[in-house]
Amino acid sequence: MDYKRRTKIANILIDDNVAVDSDVIILGWVRTVRASKTVTFIEINDGSCMGNIQAVITDPGKFPVLDKVLTGASVRIQGKLSQSQGKEQKYEIVVGSLDLIGQADASYPLQKKRHSFEFLREMAHLRPRTNTFGAVNRIRSKLAFGIHKYFQERGFYYIHTPIISASDCEGAGELFRVSSLDPIHPPIKEGNVDWDADFFATQTFLSVSGQLEAELVASSLGDVYTFGPTFRAENSNTSRHASEFWMIEPEMAWAELDDNMDLAEDFVKWLFRYALDDCADEMAFFGRWIDKEVCQTLEGVINSEFQRLPYSKAIRILEDSKESFEFPVGWGLDLQSEHERYLTEKEFKRPVIVYDYPEEIKPFYMRVNDDGKTVRAMDVLVPKVGEIIGGSQREERYEILKERMLKKGITDFDNYYWYLDIRRWGSVPHSGFGLGFERALMYITGMGNIRDVLPFPRVPRWAKF
């Protein structure tokens, strides 16, 4: 099939490293066909970049297969790379041979017209062939590589944490259960389901975070990170929630909250710069068709010194603002998106890191401050959306951690003995944060719905493809 001999369109249009008059083989899918008696133009895309290459057939009568070459078909084209005669493209291919590999008839749903994102979600198996979703998938791949590059170059070790877990990191209770028991007739013991008879001999769930396990490995390797799928059984249908998504979670031994904030700020800036520099083809598309200000927004974050702001001061600023917020503001209440956006867009006009939140609204694992009322939590807020990163210094003191767990309703210490053990033997200060990959992609691309930056989204009442 000439897989090794083919020339990818990106090599021609982006890298510009294929000489004119070279013989090339293009394997791709037809975007459009324009035909007359004397010449036929076929626009082909192979997924390697945004651009199509135009194939020119100057004697259509010699190619009877042309009658079957329609939008959506896959083709093999061999010919010479030439300077284009048209104004919209630099190169074209003068066709020597044309083979139809896979037919597509007139029922192919992605004809040459604009389709709504809602329509395209119904056909996630085909939408990567569109310009928008081709760009989304390519930038997703490039940024995933960039994330590994960032941490690997800074001495972090990539670790794989379990997808099936017996613990709930966040204590939220919105978990997907994993079980091999018969759902109709489960084994019963003393009036309850006998989980000891299940596959893992205990209740297990899809993981909501790799953090707890990352803490264990950081207690040995120092600096580690996870980058993998996480799950929430939250019945939410907003544009920012998905039931399955990917999380980037670094964890650092010997690191306190200031170190954590330093890393979070540096990472966000680096990732945004990487998107602008190494994904320029895709970013130009998003800037033209999705959000005309997206590149300017990213540059604004990159060039800002993030404001660091204690939660208590943030509350005072919001209370004194005289703004008519939809949600109430008060000490002890969590910040909502509208509050976060006020701080970043109106008060400071730059990203803000809010830290030292009330302990009552934060999970059990966050380190308690000396005041006994707040914990060493931090959230990174950016203009337009609010929170993009959440993290904390972890509680490394054994007895205080047990008190926090009891206060949060966690009484089964046997289920967390391993988490407590690293506080018993060689405990050290340690910190980390989580960044939802899809939330970052939405911000970088300007895409407005998380369903459109996931190749195959999983949301309530939707698990197709």
Confidence band for 86, pLDDT divided at 50, 70 and 90: confident
Sequence-distant (6+) residues with CB within 8 A of 185 are none
Q: Write out the H or E segment, with its range, that includes residue 387.
A: strand 386-393
Residue closest to 70 by CA, chosen among 31, 125, 37, 122: 31
Counting residues of the chain whose pLDDT is more than 70, the rounded percentage is: 99
3-state secondary structure of 43: strand
- pLDDT tens, residue by residue, 147-171: 999 999 999 999 999 999 988 766 5
Backbone angles phi, psi at 249, to 5 degrees: -135, 95
- pLDDT tens, residue by residue, 165-204: 988 766 555 899 999 999 999 999 999 999 999 999 999 9
Q: What is the per-residue pLDDT for 172? A: 54
Q: What is the per-residue pLDDT for 133? A: 97
Q: What is the per-residue pLDDT for 38? A: 94
What DSSP assignment string belongs to 199-247? Answer: TTSS-EEE-S-SHHHHHHHHHHHSEEEEEEEEE------STT--SEEEE
Sequence-distant (6+) residues with CB within 8 A of 134 are 45, 47, 50, 128
Burial (CB count within 10 angstroms: exposed 0-12, middle 13-18, buried 19+), residue 85: exposed
- Looking up tokens 């996870």 gives 226
Residue closest to 80 by CA, chosen among 58, 60, 102: 58
Rounded Cα distance between 294 and 303, Å, is 14
Rounded Cα distance between 458 and 464, Å, is 8
3-state secondary structure of 431: strand
> CA angle at residue 99 from 49 to 14, to 5 degrees?
15
Long-range Cβ contact pairs of 124-128 (< 8 A, separation 24 or more)? 124/455, 124/456, 124/457, 124/464, 124/465, 125/465, 128/47, 128/455
Confidence band for 357, pLDDT divided at 50, 70 and 90: very high
Q: What is the per-residue pLDDT for 170? A: 63
- pLDDT tens, residue by residue, 375-393: 999 999 999 999 999 999 9
Rounded Cα distance between 461 and 159, Å, is 32
- Looking up tokens 């249908």 gives 237
One-letter amino acid at 171 equals G
| Cα within 13 Å of Cα(143), Cβ side | 32
Backbone angles phi, psi at 424, to 5 degrees: -90, -35
> CA angle at residue 112 from 12 to 39, to 5 degrees?
60
What does the mean pLDDT of the chain come to? 96
- pLDDT tens, residue by residue, 415-463: 899 999 999 999 999 999 999 999 999 999 999 999 999 999 999 999 9
Sequence-distant (6+) residues with CB within 8 A of 310 are 354, 355, 356
Q: What is the per-residue pLDDT for 332? A: 98
Burial (CB count within 10 angstroms: exposed 0-12, middle 13-18, buried 19+), residue 436: buried
Pairing of strands 74-83, 91-102: antiparallel
| Dmax (CA) of the chain | 85
Note if the pTM is more than 0.75. yes
Dihedral (CA of 136, 71, 78, 85) sign: negative
Confidence band for 112, pLDDT divided at 50, 70 and 90: confident
Q: N- to C-terminal Cα distance for the chain?
A: 28
Token readout for 64 is 């009877």
Segment among 13-17, 172-176, 314-318, 410-414 with least mean pLDDT:
172-176
Q: Is residue 362 within 8 Å of 377, Cβ to Cβ?
A: yes
Token readout for 245 is 């998504």
